[in-house]
Amino acid sequence: MRNVIPLLSVVALSIMFTAGCAGPDAKLGRGLNNFHEIVRLGEMRRSIEQTAIFESPDVGYTSGAIHGFHRSLGRAGLGLYEVLTFPFPPYHPICTKYFAPEAVYPSNYKPGLLSDSLFDTDSYFGYSGGEVAPFVPGSRFRVFDN
């Protein structure tokens, strides 16, 4: 009977030493961000907006929502693939012809930082700014935004 433990350990060590650190970390982070798209619904909001502007306001909420939901599922599937294969090359973004490597938002909204003492240095004095709830889709309320 063969003992495969030494062979698997050699293979794991060779993958670990040839992979480097920045590639798998970036691929895992990008994969988690893309997999989170099904909750964030940035593709859906962007598709509704773009369809209403460039085609017709009448079909923005119907055709745009269907197209956006389709793109959200595609991005979530791409994220799942990147999460499952993050230790293995290639580490560059894939499917960039169809999906942007970073998260997309509607053109009229770009999220900022959370209003928290981690990011706001004046919170000890009672002053803070930033977004109140950026994790809520469509939330655009900001405190002390100049």
Tell me: the pLDDT tens digits for 103-132? 888 887 777 766 666 666 655 565 556 666
My answer on whether 84 and 114 are in the same domain is no
Q: Per the domain annotation, does 57 fall within a domain?
A: yes
- Mean pLDDT (the chain) is 80
Q: What is the pLDDT of residue 42?
A: 87
The percentage of residues in the chain with a pLDDT greater than 90, rounded to a whole number, is 25
Q: Per the domain annotation, does 30 fall within a domain?
A: yes
My answer on whether 86 and 137 are in the same domain is no
Q: Per the domain annotation, does 1 fall within a domain?
A: no
Q: Per the domain annotation, does 66 fall within a domain?
A: yes
Q: Per the domain annotation, does 128 fall within a domain?
A: yes
Q: Whole-model pTM above 0.75?
A: no
Q: What is the pLDDT of residue 139?
A: 67
Contact in structure between 79 and 34 (CB atoms under 8 Å)? yes
Q: What is the pLDDT of residue 51?
A: 92
**Domain range spanning residue 114?**
110-146
Q: Is pLDDT of 84 > 90?
A: yes
| Number of domains the chain contains | 2
Q: How many CB atoms lie within 10 A of CB 72?
A: 21
Q: Is pLDDT of 79 > 70?
A: yes
